[in-house]
Amino acid sequence: MCRMSRIAVIGGGAAGMMFAVLASEKGHQVDLFEKNEKLGKKLFITGKGRCNLTNNCDEQEFLQAVVSNPRFLYSAIYGWNSADVMDFFEKAGVPLKTERGNRVFPCSDHSSDIIRCLEKKLAENHVTVHLNTEVRSLLIREEKACGLVLEGGVVFQADAVVVASGGKTYPQTGSSGDGYRFAEEAGHTIKDPEPSLVSLTTEEACVKEMQGLSLKNVRLTIERGRKKLYDEFGEMLFTHNGISGPLVLTASARVGRELKKEKLAARIDLKPALERDKLDARILRDFAEAPNRQFRNILGGLLPSSMIPVMVGLSGIDPNKRIHDITKEERNRLVDLIKGFPLTITGTGSFHEAIITRGGVNVKEIDPGTMESRKVSGLYFIGEVLDVDAVTGGFNLQIAWSTAHLAADSL
Ligand SMILES: Cc1cc2nc3c(=O)[nH]c(=O)nc-3n(C[C@H](O)[C@H](O)[C@H](O)COP(=O)(O)OP(=O)(O)OC[C@H]3O[C@@H](n4cnc5c(N)ncnc54)[C@H](O)[C@@H]3O)c2cc1C
């Protein structure tokens, strides 16, 4: 494509804004179309309003954090890695800091600083931003993208079109999955969009009794038959119909597809730092100190209070039984429960609460070296609309920045 092309970008989110900034810097006339009344609505809520904009790690670690199609992102990440992204924002006047797990945030802890920075650059580079403007379809002639159709059938002519319309989670932010329709109209196939980085639902109704209870330093194992699908340490919490929290969100990315086919068995080790016999010795000590107490009153030192009635119920031990009457076999059952609180995972939460969409435009139909469609020339796909997704930690925004940079670079 020659210089000074007119480029239409669909979506003023992370990927669309970054693309518009970088392409306009190269001298292209860029028109950015956003259906909301402002830019970056989803970006605003990222990282609980603090925007975990990238992960301060090398390319290999980044690729390991990508769950779907990491190899597709090879050129994108080697072309513009997290150090480049940090450099971009810092040079643009947004000081950054790196926190636990290499998560990068603006020093101000305000996602609005990231949005304001991009908006300022858009204005400096004379990008025309069309707010409150919903793109209805693509204009394609003879397998070449040549513009867009807006509301009311208004046609906008362009030399190239970039689809940066995001996935379909948190639809109230504007990401409602329109890009999948545009891609299909252009002859692309779509890998079924599914919610990911999301809570998991369980068969056991007892979770409701523990709703809101947060567990730190536990180990979550999820298995299909004897095969371990997920086994990590961290923090999680119980919800009204299942489990959530950082450990569970990451688990959802790893086991979500399996859950489409069948339920999965999960176990929570509540005391991962204690070997089984050490835990047994600890319980024996507690029991020896209060032999006349009732079973239901002895677990306070070991378990959070809202979990005790559930544990007592699952143990099958009479809650009123005196400690000195508890048998070794009963104590073993208690140890088993603490080392492996059992749950049956039935599915995931909805698109309304998921952090990202797994699935999207089939990456086999996109040139990984340019982000251009292999079916329609002059048509590009960047960001979450593609069938790529990563775990939490700033990796998903890095996908948006890197794919945007690659597309802008290849114009
Ligand atoms: C609650 C939450 C927290 C998150 N926190 C983090 C985090 O801290 N770190 C991280 O790396 N990732 C995080 N993510 C994920 C991250 O926000 C996304 O992966 C990223 O925003 C994707 O960027 P995008 O530009 O591809 O899409 P989006 O940011 O979704 O932008 C798409 C834009 O396109 C517009 N659009 C859609 N259709 C049309 C149309 N037909 N016409 C015009 N405009 C249209 C939408 O209105 C939207 O503004 C979080 C997500 C959520 C929901």
Based on the fold, state whether residues 190 and 204 are members of the same structural domain: no
Phi, psi angles (nearest 5°) of residue 48: 55, 40
pTM reported for the whole predicted model: 0.95
Domain annotation covers residue 312: yes
Based on the fold, state whether residues 191 and 203 are members of the same structural domain: no
**Residues 354-390, buried b or exposed e (16+ Cβ, 10 A)?**
bbbbbbbbbbebbebebbbbeebebbbbbbbbbbbbb
Q: In this predicted structure, what is the pLDDT of residue 2?
A: 45
How many domains does the structure of the chain reveal? 2
Residue among 86, 149, 397 whose CB has most ligand 1 atoms within 8 A, to mutate: 397
Q: In this predicted structure, what is the pLDDT of residue 1?
A: 44
Last residue of a domain, one of 349, 373, 401: 349
Based on the fold, state whether residues 218 and 340 are members of the same structural domain: yes
Last residue of a domain, one of 326, 349, 372: 349
pLDDT of 256 above 50: yes
pLDDT of 379 above 80: yes
Last residue of a domain, one of 298, 326, 349: 349
Based on the fold, state whether residues 26 and 171 are members of the same structural domain: yes
- CATH code (residue 191): 3.50.50.60
pLDDT digits (tens, 9 = 90+) for 329-343: 999 999 999 999 999
pLDDT of 368 above 80: yes
- Which structural domain range is residue 398 located in? 6-195+358-410
Q: Which amino acids bring their CB within 6 angstroms of ligand 1?
A: 10-16, 33-36, 41-43, 45-47, 51-52, 134-135, 164-166, 169-170, 174-175, 178, 355-356, 383-384, 394-397, 400
Q: Is residue 20 very low, low, confident or very high in pLDDT (cuts 50, 70, 90)?
A: very high
Based on the fold, state whether residues 116 and 154 are members of the same structural domain: yes
The atom number, within ligand 1, closest to the CA of 169 reads 53
Q: Taking residues 9-22, what's their average pLDDT?
A: 98
Based on the fold, state whether residues 341 and 284 are members of the same structural domain: yes
Q: Is residue 4 very low, low, confident or very high in pLDDT (cuts 50, 70, 90)?
A: confident
CA distances from 306 to 61, 210, 212, 213, 300 (A): 38, 6, 10, 7, 10
Based on the fold, state whether residues 144 and 236 are members of the same structural domain: no
Based on the fold, state whether residues 80 and 206 are members of the same structural domain: no
The atom number, within ligand 1, closest to the CA of 47 reads 8
Based on the fold, state whether residues 205 and 80 are members of the same structural domain: no
Based on the fold, state whether residues 239 and 322 are members of the same structural domain: yes
Instruction: Give the number of residues written for the chain.
Output: 411
Mean pLDDT over each residue of the chain, to the nearest integer:
96
Based on the fold, state whether residues 333 and 362 are members of the same structural domain: no
- CATH code (residue 271): 1.10.8.50
pLDDT of 373 above 80: yes
Q: With pLDDT > 90 as the criterion, what percentage of the chain qualifies?
A: 98
Q: Taking residues 265-294, what's their average pLDDT?
A: 95
pLDDT digits (tens, 9 = 90+) for 40-57: 999 999 999 999 999 999
Domain annotation covers residue 116: yes
Phi, psi angles (nearest 5°) of residue 160: -150, 155
Based on the fold, state whether residues 62 and 142 are members of the same structural domain: yes
pLDDT digits (tens, 9 = 90+) for 160-217: 999 999 999 999 999 999 999 999 999 999 999 999 999 999 999 999 999 999 999 9
Tell how far the Cα of 307 is from the centroid of ligand 1, in angstroms.
Answer: 37
Domain annotation covers residue 1: no
Region of residue 397 (phi > 0: left; psi between -120 and 50: alpha; otherwise: beta): alpha
Q: Taking residues 243-265, what's their average pLDDT?
A: 95
